Amino acid sequence: MKKLLALLLAVVTALGLAACGGGNAATSAAGVAGNTSGATTAASADALNVHIETEVASLDSAAATDGTSFEVIAAFTDGLYQMDADSNAVPALAEDCQVSEDGKTYTFKIRDDAYWSNGDPVTADDFVFAWQRACDPDFASEYAYMVYEVGQIKNGYDVNSGKKKVEELGVTAKDEKTLVVELETPVSYFTSLMYFPTFYPVNRAFCESCGDTYGTSAETVLSNGAFVMNSDYTPAATSFSLTKNDKYYNADNISLKGLNYQVIKDSQTALLAYQNGDLDVVTLSGEQVEQVKDNKEFTTVNAGYLWYISVNESKYDYLNNVNFRKALAAAYDRQTIVDSIVKDGSTPASFAVPEGLATGSDGKDYRETAPKYDIGDLTAAQDYYAKACKELGQDTFEIELLVEDDQTAQNVAAYIQQQWQQLKGVTVNLKVETKKQRVEDIQNGDYNTCLTRWGPDYADPMTYLNMWVTDNSNNYGLWSNKEYDKIITDCISGDLALDVEKRWDALKEAEKIVMDEMVILPVYQKCNAMMINEKVSGVECHAVALNRVFKNVKLS
């Protein structure tokens, strides 16, 4: 083990010199107490000082694609529903919701006391405009599929493909405060989608007056939520703030006077800022956990993300061999990765659907009743590899493992590189890129293998399993299986969509195909290690959609 870690350190150092991304989710409502060196500045000012690791990419709910942007957008915008501390969908702007007997029509009554920060009432048309805009092919939202594929809103596919006009999308304003939504097929988790930012309302007149500048500054967004964006926000700002919205319908229950965000990319710098009293909430790297793990202000929460290796089997014949993929998956020790490299509470993954994502009709977590998969160890890897070599008529292979320029990700990749090269004849080269470039390359199929991740958008196994349908944009390896496609289609719009228990069993069957075929190579399920000031309570951490919510925070 010492030799292995020494080799890992040497490889990482070399890389650094060479190259200067219905059910309930697991949650942690964090409010920990403890240390004498916690921050106190924010508590005395009735505002919360929060660390984020990257800049906000967009304040436009239809254009944003990253967790940081979603978190900030949700701080100043409410949707029809929001999450409670246990990640259940509870009404927000929706005062009432009626569902038709066939489960295909939802009628929402918008609160009379909901207003935008410019004084306009929040109306049903704000939702009609927002959803049409997100589904409009001319806008090209990356999350349009949430409307037409996940939400199954009527005519969504045809609207997004340009076959029908956006006005034909199945969402209408019956009157100023009544929103009617028609679905192609019943969606059991539809109300839980409503807290995802793509489904947030947008004030039509204001957005159109901003044109292409909408969502690019504090002046080009409106608030209907707990906070209002202050003018210190600019694109790529490294610090900015929000102030409590006194016009918010639930303002009486909002204790915080504001939120102060600081972008600090270096985790050690962020921890020092916390210890100096400049931050109340900070995210740690695994390297720092050893320093603070006994501190009562330290906590870990399920982040929901699954880290895995995508293999481009459509472009490389040897990656198209299932025994070769199984050899790669079995060759690295997942426990060593989480214990000795990641070190933030993350857990080994031997599945395609994470723990703590969703519960079935029996009230049990999906993983609790889903099959357990034995990926194997190095001995099994060598057996699979021998079979693959015989089937391929080849005994030497060169692999390129693409990884983003995050230090932990590079450390994990370097370890996997070393493990794969224990298979005789295998050579592995690491390619380090920015997250943006890495995402672009895998989406374009310009890669061999890639260490990547996926975070769930909604609390259902489909948020993962739908990725591997033929021609899905997130099916980077372009794997295709007709039996698998049929199961997923039946679960979305066929007979299985109407039977909760049979659908659940079918999703388990679909996951089994993914694992039997080793479509992806699972690595680990991510947890976030955090420090939270002892004077702070009510930080809500979720595994789905919105990783952190601060509107219910109280300071003592």
pLDDT > 90: percent of the chain: 78
The span from the CA of 515 to the CA of 214, in Å, is: 43
Lowest mean pLDDT among 237-251, 347-361, 403-417, 493-507: 493-507
- Predicted confidence (pLDDT) at residue 476 exceeds the cutoff of 60: yes
How buried is 435 (Cβ within 10 angstroms: 0-12 exposed, 13-18 middle, 19+ buried)? middle
Helices (H), 161-220: 190-193, 204-210
Q: What is the DSSP letter of 341?
A: I
Task: Tell me the pLDDT tens digit for each residue of 75-130.
Answer: 999 999 999 998 889 999 999 999 999 999 999 999 999 999 999 999 999 999 99
Flag whether pLDDT at 231 surpasses 90.
yes
Amino acid identity at 437? Q
Q: Is 441 exposed, middle or buried (0-12, 13-18, 19+ CB in 10 A)?
A: middle
Q: What is the mean pLDDT of residues 157-172?
A: 98
Tell me the pLDDT tens digit for each residue of 390-408. 999 999 999 999 999 888 8
Alpha-carbon distances of 431 from 16, 193, 414, 417, rounded to whole Å: 12, 36, 10, 11
Neighbours of 395 (CB within 10 A): 13
Joined tokens for residue 111: 């609160």
Tokens of 64: 């944003």
The DSSP secondary structure of 438-481, one letter per residue, reads HHHHHHTT--SEEEEEE--SSSSTHHHHGGGSTT-TT-TT----
Q: Report which DSSP code applies to 92.
A: S
| Predicted model pTM | 0.83
Three-state secondary-structure class, residue 8: helix
C-alpha–C-alpha distance, residues 422 and 187, integer Å: 47
Residue 115 to residue 225: CA distance in whole angstroms = 9
- Structural class in CATH, domain 44-260+533-555: alpha beta
pLDDT above 70 covers what percent of the chain?
Answer: 92
| Structural class in CATH, domain 303-524 | alpha beta
Chain position carrying tokens 């409009």: 136
Beta strands, E only, 463-533: 520-532
Q: 409-438: per-residue pLDDT in tens? A: 999 999 999 999 999 999 999 999 988 899
Q: Residue ranges per domain, the chain?
A: 44-260+533-555, 303-524
Could you give the C-alpha distances from 174 to 107, 121, 135, 171, 181, in angstroms and in order?
9, 16, 20, 9, 10
